[in-house]
Structure 1
Amino acid sequence: MTVIGRTRTRGIETLSLDSPDTRNALSASLVRELADALAECGKDADVRAVVLTHTGNTFCAGADLRDPPPPDALVAVLRQIVELPKPVVARVTGHVRAGGLGLLAACDIAVGSTSATFAFTEVRIGVAPAVISLPLLPRTDPRALARYYLTGERFDATEAVRAGLLTAAAGDVDEALAPILDGLRRAAPEALAETKRLLTARVLETFDRDAADLTALSARLFGSAQAREGMTAFLERRDPAWVV
């Protein structure tokens, strides 16, 4: 069963995370299918831009704790979004947690609903937002990121815009996206690719410098005793043992 939906309208390919039963958690299969779909879009001259969206009330709940992707596979798909020679636009009408915020940061433009909420929940289950920091650190406000990385607090779309996670927040996301997609349709494809390359150079430098270390950190933390306790507590809907 496929977990990535695909449609196309006037040169815009829409890829939908389509596993609402798991709140579109980043499973090994979802990451693999997303990578395959992005690769096809990158090679297709008829695709002017990609919209990354979702079904259900959650854009992405983060890593699938029952079937997580290998850290290097998540790094690869984040880099793939950043390197794709077509703009990638996130359309967010639901909530975003943990690894889902890495997807959001990898996109070139992100528009979210004013009803959406966001949280870096990693520290609450005994891990760290390691590999998703690759696109996040170069693109977001460091003070905001420090607060929400360290506390796991939930924040709203207005704060997500201020922090640099969203380009814009709107009551009607599709209405807000319409002029953006129209602009992309009017842009020359080679000019779009070169302009995106200018914009992503610093992000890709972070991948080149830090990907190996952050992948190792993620693997180490996910294998730790605290992570086992945190994930068990999450699945059992209780506080982990360290909560005071």
Structure 2
Amino acid sequence: MTLIAHPRSRGVRTLTLDSPHNRNALSAALVGELADALTEAGKDDGVRAVLLTHSGNTFCAGADLRDPPDPDALVALLRQIVELPKPVVARVTGHVRAGGLGLLAACDIAVASTGAGFAFTEVRIGVAPAVISLPLLPRTDPRALARYYLTGERFDAAEAVRIGLVTAAGDDVDAVLEPVLDGVRRASPQGLAETKRLLTARVLEAFDRDAADLTALSARLFSSPQAREGMTAFLERRDPEWVV
């Protein structure tokens, strides 16, 4: 198993990304297992919220370049997180790259440790943050996204909070999480579901409007010669041929 679903604790189901060999990258297998675990949590009347976290020093390294998920499957997973009638809260204590940032944006609340680091690295391997833009563009500062999408620069947790990618950050991430989880435990299931519906309406509009075009763009880019060069260079730990 690449995903461990822990038993719920006081109404919170914890799903832990646990694929250390590829830094919790979004492989076809991980995407499928996470989708199944979310479906199970959604059907469980005893689950009030889902906590999405990780093992190791990386929350998610983006798409697994050796076993990438189908773009349609990734779109479906992101939409599933957005549409789940229960809050999904991300707990991040490590690095987040590329597609992993799409997971964060799809979550309702994201809490990070001050040591966490973030980067949109797609342009550096010849592709674009296409599918993950579905939850990112409606929720994140557009000027900041322009900078980080186009440059692939790394940024820290404080900047992630400033631009709206992360809700809150602190040295002790669990201390920051405590009032969040206490709050959802005190809320009624109906109140949570209907309030989440209000909050996600604009995000779901983006999925309805743009998902097909962005899925096609992702598939086209990943099959292009520049992407093949970029992914090969990444796996060989060298600069791609276009670096000047």
Q: Which residue of 2 aligns with 1:45?
A: 45
2:159 maps to a residue whose letter is E
Q: CA deviation at 1:21?
A: 1.4
Q: Which runs of 4+ in 1 moved over 6 A?
A: none
CA distance in 1, matches of 2:164, 2:219: 27
Partner letter of residue 171 of structure 1?
D
2:139 is matched with 139
Is 1:210 the counterpart of 2:210? The answer is: yes
Q: Superposition pairs for residues 10-25 of structure 1, below 5 Å? A: 10-25=10-25
* Percent sequence identity over aligned pairs: 83
Alpha-carbon distance in 1 for matches of 2:54, 2:229: 30
Deviation at 1:132, TM superposition (A): 0.1
Q: TM-score, normalised by structure 2?
A: 0.99
Structure 2 residue aligned with 1:104: 104
Query: How far apart, CA to CA, are the structure 2 residues paired with 1:137 and 1:72?
Result: 18
Q: Please, which runs of 5 or more residues in structure 2 have no aligned partner?
A: none
What amino acid is aligned across from residue 176 of structure 2 in structure 1? Answer: A
Does the residue aligned with 1:9 lie in a helix, a strand or coil? coil
Q: Distance in 1 between matches of 2:162 and 2:59?
A: 20
The aligned residue for residue 178 of structure 2 is 178
CA offset at residue 80 of structure 1? 0.1
Match of 2:82 in 1: 82
Letter in 1 for 2:177: L
> What's the offset of the Cα at 1:12?
0.2
2:115 corresponds to:
115
Take 2:242 and 2:141, find their aligned partners in 1: how far apart are those partners? 29
Q: Partner amino acid for 2:135?
A: P
Partners of 1:43 and 1:140 in 2: CA distance: 30
- 1:237: how far off? 0.3
Which digits, 9 at most, give the CA deviation of each residue in 1:157-215, with x for residues without a partner?
A: 00000010000011000111001000000000011000000000000000000000000
**Is 1:5 the equivalent of 2:4?**
yes
Give the Cα–Cα distance (whole angstroms) in 1 for the partners of residues 96 and 152 of structure 2.
Answer: 12
Query: Offset at 1:6?
Result: 1.5
Structure 1 letter corresponding to 2:102 = G
Q: Which amino acid aligns with 2:112?
A: G
CA drift of 1:20 comes to 1.3
* Cα distance in 2 for residues equivalent to 1:176 and 1:99: 24
Q: Distance in 2 between matches of 1:150 and 1:44?
A: 41
Indicate the RMSD between aligned Cα atoms, in angstroms. 0.4
The total of aligned residue pairs comes to 243
Q: Deviations for 1:70-116, whole angstroms, at most 9, x for unmatched residues?
A: 00000000000000000000000010000000000000000001000
Residue-by-residue CA offset, 1:14-56 (whole Å, 9 max, x unaligned): 0000101110000000000000000011111000000000000
5+ unaligned residues in a row in structure 1: which ranges? none
Provide the rounded CA distance (Å) in 2 between the counterparts of 1:44 and 1:85. 11
Q: TM-score, normalised by structure 1?
A: 0.99
Q: Deviations over 1:100-156 (max 9, x none)?
A: 000000000000010000000000000000000000000000000000000000000
